[in-house]
Amino acid sequence: MKPLKAKNYFPVEPWKQPLEQRLKKLDNHLAAGYKINVFLYEKPDSSTFRYRVYNLAQALEASARWRAAFFFADELDQIRDTVLRCQLVTIARFRWTFALETLITAARTQGIPIAFDTDDLVFDLVHVPALANVQNIDQRTDAELNFWFSYAARVQLSAQLADAMITTNDYLGQFLKDQFHKPVHVIRNFLNHEQVDFSATCLLEKRQAADQKPFMIGYFSGSPSHYFDLHSIADELCDLLDEFPDIQILVAGYMNFAPRLQAYADQGRIRFHKFVDFLTLQRLIAEVDVNIAPLYPNDFTQCKSELKFFEAALVETLTVATPTFAFKNAIQTGQNGYLCQQGQWYDTIKAIYLDREAQLPVLAQARETALSTYSPAANWQSIERAYDAITQTVNKP
């Protein structure tokens, strides 16, 4: 498919709001009688912060009882009095600092429950080797090892400050239960309004565009840390490129390949696109025929969420994924996407390539799944339930 021209009129960092503006908004919510959850996060980004903080706060705008605010590491000293007026504090994957513990201690003294939210298995030193392996971290260097062991240890200390845990799925939730012996609540990852609205624009243009060769396979996790994920299906991708000259691969980001795949990159059959903001990413995903989400199997990747599926589903792009815990719960093979073990990727993608018309019902069902299960409207009540449960049970006799 030729590149789409859909223009994004949404801010790509909508969470960039001055502290004074966020404090005033929180004050207004308190004055209106809402309960407030305060998210604490180190500094805003387009990955974990967007999915675990911004999207939840946005979805709660539909609630009749709850609202949320977010603050960052360099603001902790300025928000103490405000935090102590709220009903819940959530530490979102925040590495321990003295300032964080001081604020949490003050909140607990006031009887305010503390939650800890994480989207990855990064809170237990035992699992750092698995993380290092799947992330392609150079384990021969002290600098890398010191960073990741320090990261996990400090996140673990932060988690220990909490009364309850929040995470993205039951698989990761079980690790939290085993580690901390605290109540665990699941709030899945889901889309924000900007993604939904801009994706609709991309999809309209996609439907109007005539199908054109080449047939494009998209991989949207391009970075050296995902080398083993893609390498696990490299031979099957090469077999497809061997057999069908009009198949190409688009990699968002950059990564090194095994020699056989690298030969296709040298020929221009594998193209790279620089990293983009989360809305432009939706347009890129809309331009490919198949979105692949291979994962090297271990406990760390089993804990990953299904966001690669629902981001693609929103723009009616097929996803072919490794059957991890989250993907198995989200994808029904042949109905809204495809699950593939090693050895099945070649046949699955070949069948899609040879009969694209047969995929139209699958594409329609994928988008329906994205909207009915992963929209803000489909998830704000689960946030309410989790917050109600935490505040009703923590610190109660």
302-330: pLDDT as tens digits = 999 999 999 999 999 999 999 999 999 99
Angle at 244 (CA atoms; ends 240, 245), nearest 5 degrees = 120
167 vs 258, higher pLDDT: 167
- 372 versus 211: the higher-pLDDT residue is 372
State the maximum Cα–Cα separation within the chain, in Å, rounded to a whole number. 69
Between 110-124, 201-215, 277-291, the lowest mean confidence (pLDDT) is in 201-215
Of 48-62, 207-221, 301-315, 365-379, minimum mean pLDDT range: 207-221
pLDDT band of 395, cuts 50, 70, 90: low
254 band by pLDDT with thresholds 50, 70 and 90: confident
**CATH class of the structural domain 19-188+379-393:** alpha beta
Tell me the pLDDT tens digit for each residue of 256-292: 888 899 999 999 999 999 999 999 999 999 999 999 9
Whether residue 350 is predicted with pLDDT greater than 70 in this model: the reply is: yes
Q: What is the layout of strands, in order, in the sheet containing 215-222?
A: 270-273, 247-253, 215-222, 290-293, 318-321, 338-339
**Of 5 and 64, more confident:** 64
Closest CA to 344 of 320, 362, 328, 324: 320
* Stretch among 59-68, 145-154, 184-193, 223-232 having the lowest mean pLDDT: 223-232
Q: Do the first three CATH levels of 19-188+379-393 and 193-374 match, i.e. the same topology?
A: yes
pLDDT of residue 136 exceeding 60: yes
Interatomic CA distance for residues 168 and 50, integer angstroms: 14
Domain covering 193-374, topology: Rossmann fold (3.40.50)
Of 328 and 225, more confident:
328
* Lowest mean pLDDT across 82-86, 221-225, 328-332: 221-225
| Residue 295 pLDDT class (50, 70, 90 cuts) | very high
For residue 3 the two structure tokens come to 């590149």
Which one, of 319, 317, 348, 312, lies nearest residue 236 by Cα? 348
Q: Check whether 396 has a pLDDT greater than 60.
A: no
Percent of the chain having pLDDT more than 90? 84
- Do 314 and 370 contact (CB within 8 A), yes or no? yes
Residue 347 has which token pair?
């046949």
Distance CA 273, CA 303 (A): 27
Tell me what pLDDT residue 18 has: 98
Res. 203 pLDDT band, cuts 50 70 90: very high
Q: How confident is the model at residue 224 (pLDDT cuts 50, 70, 90)?
A: low
pTM (2 decimals)?
Answer: 0.95
More confident residue, 137 or 226: 226
pLDDT classification of 227: cutoffs 50, 70, 90: confident
252 - beta bridge partners? 273
Is the confidence at residue 251, as pLDDT, over 80?
A: yes
CA-to-CA separations, 182 to 19, 115, 319, in angstroms, rounded: 32, 10, 35
- Band the pLDDT of 397: cuts 50, 70, 90: very low
Residue burial 245-279, b: 16+ Cβ < 10 Å; e: rest = eebbbbbbbebebeeebeebbeeebbeebeebebb
What mean pLDDT, rounded, does the chain reach? Answer: 94
54-63, 166-175, 299-308: range with lowest mean pLDDT? 299-308
Report the alpha-carbon distance of residue 289 to residue 349 in Å, rounded: 10
Contact 173, 154 (CB under 8 A): no
In the chain, domain spans = 19-188+379-393, 193-374
Percentage of the chain beyond pLDDT 70 is 96
Determine the pLDDT at residue 1. 58
Phi, psi of 331 (to 5 degrees): -110, 130
Residue with tokens 């935090």: 83
CB neighbour list of residue 119: distance below 8 Å, 6 or more residues apart:
48, 51, 52, 93, 167, 168, 172, 189, 305
Pick from 160-174, 224-238, 339-353: least confident: 224-238
pLDDT, residue 82, reads: 97
What's the pLDDT score for residue 120?
A: 95
Please name the residue that has the structure tokens 């504090």.
89
Q: Which of 37-46, 95-104, 107-116, 388-397 has the weakest average pLDDT?
A: 388-397
